[in-house]
Structure 1
């Protein structure tokens, strides 16, 4: 009887350890892929910000606003004083002229 109880406990312990090990490996792989995705996203965002900055720097606020609205981005566009936000991208203006994109 004791042998059966010990065997059952041993089997349950072994199965739970296998499950926990699988879970740990799965999370590690998922975390590695998500970290790589975030790095790729950050690099792409930096490149796109540089391109937008190069294309639109020196343009006036009204022109940029019309261009963004013409692309159907009204819902994502927020305008405050000397800044315009498209999602998390900030367009900084001085006297109505674009000076920086962050």
Structure 2
């Protein structure tokens, strides 16, 4: 009787350890893929920011606003002082002329 109880406890312990180890490995792999995905998105955003900066730098505020509104991005567009926000992207103006995109 005592042997059966010890055997059951050992089996339960072994199964729970296997389950916990699987969970740990699965989370590690998921975090690695998530980190890689974030890095890829960050790189893509940097490339797109550089392209937009090259295309729109030196243009006036009204022109940039019309270009962004023409692409149905009006819901995401916020204008405060000399900065136009499109999501997390900042269009920085000086005297009404685009000088930087971050």
TM-aligned CA deviation for residue 96 of structure 1 = 0.3
Secondary structure at the aligned position of 1:71 is classed as coil
Structure 1, unmatched stretches of 5+, are none
Give the Cα–Cα distance (whole angstroms) in 2 for the partners of residues 41 and 96 of structure 1: 30
Name the Cα RMSD after superposition. Answer: 0.4
Report Cα offsets for 1:3-40 as digits up to 9, x if no partner.
Answer: 01100100000000000010011001101100100110
Secondary structure at the aligned position of 1:58 is classed as coil
Give every structure 1 segment of 4 or more consecutive aligned residues whose post-TM-superposition deviation is greater than 6 Å: none
Structure 2, unmatched stretches of 5+, are none
Secondary structure at the aligned position of 1:72 is classed as coil
Secondary structure at the aligned position of 2:25 is classed as helix
Report Cα offsets for 1:80-101 as digits up to 9, x if no partner.
Answer: 0000000000000000000000
Give TM-score, length-normalised by structure 2.
0.99
Give TM-score, length-normalised by structure 1.
0.99
